[in-house]
Amino acid sequence: MKIFKVIVVIWLIIWGWFFLRQFRIDEHLFPTYKKLFSSGNEERRRLVFGENFYDFMKFSKHSIPSGSAYEIVGLEADSVDLVRLVYFMYPCLRSSEPEYILVYEQPGFDDKELGFHSLFDGKSFILKRKN
Where does this chain bind another protein (CB under 8 A)? 1, 4, 7-8, 10-11, 14-15, 18, 33, 36-37, 41, 44-45, 48-49, 69, 80, 83-84, 86-87, 90-91, 93-95
CB 66 to another protein: min, Å: 10
CB 101 to another protein: min, Å: 16
How buried is residue 54: exposed, middle or buried, by Cβ count under 10 Å (0-12/13-18/19+)? buried
CA pseudo-torsion sign 99, 105, 106, 110: positive
Closer Cβ to another protein, 41 or 131, answer by number = 41
Angle between helices 29-38 and 2-25 (to 10 degrees): 80
Closer Cβ to another protein, 7 or 119, answer by number = 7
